[in-house]
Structure formats: C-alpha cells, structure tokens
Amino acid sequence: MASSFSSQSGHSRTNAPRLCYCGEISPVKTSMASRNMGRRFYGYARYEVDATCGYFKWIDPPMCQHGREVLPKMVAKMNRLENELVTSRRREKIYCKALLAA
Ligand SMILES: [Zn+2]
C-alpha cells in the first residue's frame, strides 16, 4: 500500500517565480476584500509607485459562499481577541510589578 505515497506536493508550479508585464518578479499578495478575504494572488512589484502594469492573477480558487460569510467574522473575532491579549499582558505586567513592590 506504500505505492500510494508520493513526495510530489503538486505545488511546484506555484513555487516558480512569476513575472509581471514589466518582467519583474510578481509578489504573492493576500486579498483583504471581504468578497475574497484571504485569497492569494500574484500582483506586481511597482503597485505603490506605478499602477500602469496592472498584472493580476489569482492563485487560490474562489471561496464558497459560506466561507465568504464566515471568514470576515473570524478575522474580526481574531483581531478582537488579539487586542484583548495585548491589554491582558499589559495588565499582568502592572500587577506583577505591584506584587513585587509589595
Ligand atoms: Zn509590472
């Protein structure tokens, strides 16, 4: 049954650097738009300074309707929890200092 095992990941095609219309290496970016949140795409390196290239290609397939509805809520929840963690750690430090000083 070992014959079904394969070291081929199937991702080798996406690992090769892609070039935009200017011939520069196309950076992998992640969409933050709610319709396509978390979906990766190839953009172009000079996006900030020169938008004339316009190279764009999706890497990930479109997300299903359920994913589109749930993911933005999960990201919002994660951000809220991360903020709470920062506040809690700050508070913990203050309490520890107060305990050590007592
Ligand atoms: Zn370009």
Dump pLDDT digits (tens) for 27-62.
999 998 878 888 999 999 888 888 899 999 999 999
Ligand 1 centroid–CA 53 distance in Å is 4
Q: How far is the CA of 14 from the centre of ligand 1 (A)?
A: 18
The alpha carbon of 3 and the centre of ligand 1 are apart by a number of angstroms equal to: 43
Q: Where are the beta strands (DSSP E) in 1-102?
A: 28-30, 40-42, 57-58
Tell me if the pTM is above 0.85.
no
Quick check: 10 pLDDT over 60?
no
Nearest residue to 68 (alpha-carbon basis) of 23, 28, 35, 25: 35
Whole-number Å distance, alpha carbon 55 to ligand 1 midpoint, is: 6
